[in-house]
Amino acid sequence: MSTRVRAILESIEAGEPRRKAWGRAVIGKYREMFLVTLCAGLAAYGFIMANVLNNQDNISNTPGGYGAGTASGRWFLEWLAEAVRNVWGTNTLPVFNGLLSIVFVALAACLTVSVLELRARPSMILTGLLFVTFPSFAMTMLFMFTVGYYAFALLLTLAGVYAAKNWHGLPGIIVGAACMAFALGIYQAYLPVAAALFLLILLRRGCDGQAPVLPILLNGLRFLAVLALGLSLYMLILRLSLSLGGGVLNDYQQIDEMGKITLSELPGMFAATYRDFLGLPFSERYAINSTPVIRFAFLCALLSSAALFAWLEVRGQVRRDAKLLNLLFFALFPAAAFGIVILCYHSNIFGRMVYGAVTAYFLPLVLLEPVREQMPRPGVTVVNGAAVILSVLLFLASANYIWQSNENYMVLYYTNRQTENYFASMVNRIRALPGYRQDLYIAFIGEDIHDATFYNSVYRHSVHHYGGYTDNSNYLKAGKSYMSHYMGFQQSTASDDTARELADTPEVRAMPCYPDDGSIQIVGGYIVVKLED
């Protein structure tokens, strides 16, 4: 009997209510991990929480946006954000949104430790550190206007996994599926996190001594039912929401094609997931393994996982009929961790969408538990020594992630300042135009600015970028929002049809492109700013 369980029973015998005794034990078990995770989150994201930093979506959604809604499949995001708007209002509040998000992720990390049954204190703390500092979350923090909802979706996902594992029978399936459906209704990319954790739970059970096969198989079927029912419920509510609202799914990033799979494409999809998973130690994937330290940590995590699993299969106290099942779980794990590749096979995949890859770090931590229990005493010392080395490497990986986040946010700070000054200069040139009047409409010709003199040296001299969101080119497309929110420049803008008609006139075709002299003129009663031919 463990010391913690014994303490709980003693408290109950002493007259303390059962619920209070269990609650005190749970808080005590996760308190240290929660606080360490919270501190790591503040170290990684303190800079972006203390400053107003914008990418192109952030500035466009200031002050009252929350991002894509039902038309992008995120019906619960729209419901939740509209409810919050009616109570609090919707604003980009870095300190509030950032801190709330870190708390949600820290709670999700605690649930992860619980469902994976990690008992070793270093494993618990490392799980929290890696969960909160992983680049997928760091990239989501760039979208400060909506990061709180996404972090809540992650917490809902883990709540669904917890319910499916711990609540037996129909209640566990229903609650787990409901949590999955509502999490998908905020952000669809967290489904692979659940799938990977389900496989880790099954692998943990299968490698745990003489665990019978039938309960493991039934658990696997229950987990599969939770995923399938959650996805079905999500699609049902989405279709009802679109039908009642008279809308359709948009084609941004081919969201209307998400999850549409043909049998002929399946081999290529699964091959892509294994290529990404096994490539983590060797080449950059989605900006989640940009440095040699990270790639080496992934290499050690994968090699130690393979070694631990091989020992359990060959020398461990595992039933023969469970070994084949464990092999199946182990083989499917890469496909689950990078399941987003299957879901979004026909569209672009961004780093913030591959949160499931963080479970690659959890795999050796999960396998260490049964190895420690089954290893003969002379071998435990060797295993513990290897575990210490792995823990140090994973700690260095989380520290590297903290450093990398701060570097990206620092670059973003300078990019924002440069972009603000750039568009302030454009506004000054517009107002200095001979014949300028405030009642004239502005027609922007083109979308991109090709200015060889606009150079972000800070960005060019940093090498570990989070998906390019710190490059100037992304912010030039959001110039109207910068001019509106930072310069207070509210000159009316001509329609797209008018801009196209003006672009075909001889006067505009003869104009040079911005920022050259003559790229801003009054043509046909409109202020024409020619950005590109």
pLDDT at 8 over 60: no
Least confident of 49-53, 103-107, 160-164, 447-451: 447-451
Task: Read off the pLDDT of residues 295-347 as tens digits, 9 standing for 90 and up.
Answer: 999 999 999 999 999 999 988 888 888 889 999 999 999 999 999 999 888 78
Phi and psi (nearest 5°) for 227? Answer: -65, -45
Residue 379's pLDDT band, with cuts at 50, 70 and 90, is: low
Q: Distance (Å, rounded) from C-alpha 298 to C-alpha 520?
A: 52
Encoded tokens for 519: 């790229």
pLDDT at 96 over 90: yes
The strands making up 526-530's β-sheet, listed across from edge to edge, are 441-445, 526-530, 520-523
- Percent of the chain residues past pLDDT 90, beyond the cut: 60
Least confident of 67-81, 239-253, 511-525: 239-253
Average pLDDT of the chain to the nearest whole number = 88
Q: Distance (Å, rounded) from C-alpha 391 to C-alpha 302?
A: 13
Residue 1's pLDDT band, with cuts at 50, 70 and 90, is: very low
Q: Distance (Å, rounded) from C-alpha 145 to C-alpha 92?
A: 5
User: Does residue 522 sit in helix, strand or coil?
Assistant: strand
pLDDT at 4 over 60: no
pLDDT at 16 over 60: no
**pLDDT value, residue 2:** 47
Measured over the CA atoms of residue 50, residue 51, residue 57 and residue 63, the dihedral's sign is: positive
pLDDT at 186 over 90: yes
Residue 480's Cβ-count burial label (10 Å; 0-12, 13-18, 19+) is: middle
Q: Distance (Å, rounded) from C-alpha 21 to C-alpha 19?
A: 5
**pLDDT value, residue 174:** 96
Q: Distance (Å, rounded) from C-alpha 61 to C-alpha 522?
A: 30
Q: Are 25 and 8 in contact (CB under 8 A)?
A: yes
Residue 478's pLDDT band, with cuts at 50, 70 and 90, is: confident
pLDDT at 503 over 70: yes
Q: Are 183 and 157 in contact (CB under 8 A)?
A: yes
- Percent of the chain residues past pLDDT 70, beyond the cut: 90
Task: Read off the pLDDT of residues 35-87 as tens digits, 9 standing for 90 and up.
Answer: 999 999 999 999 999 999 988 888 888 777 777 778 888 899 999 988 888 87
Residue, of 137 and 70, whose pLDDT is higher = 137
pLDDT at 9 over 70: no
The distance in angstroms from the start CA to the end CA of the chain is: 76
Q: What is the pTM of this model?
A: 0.90
Task: Read off the pLDDT of residues 338-373 as tens digits, 9 standing for 90 and up.
Answer: 999 998 887 888 899 999 999 999 999 999 999 988
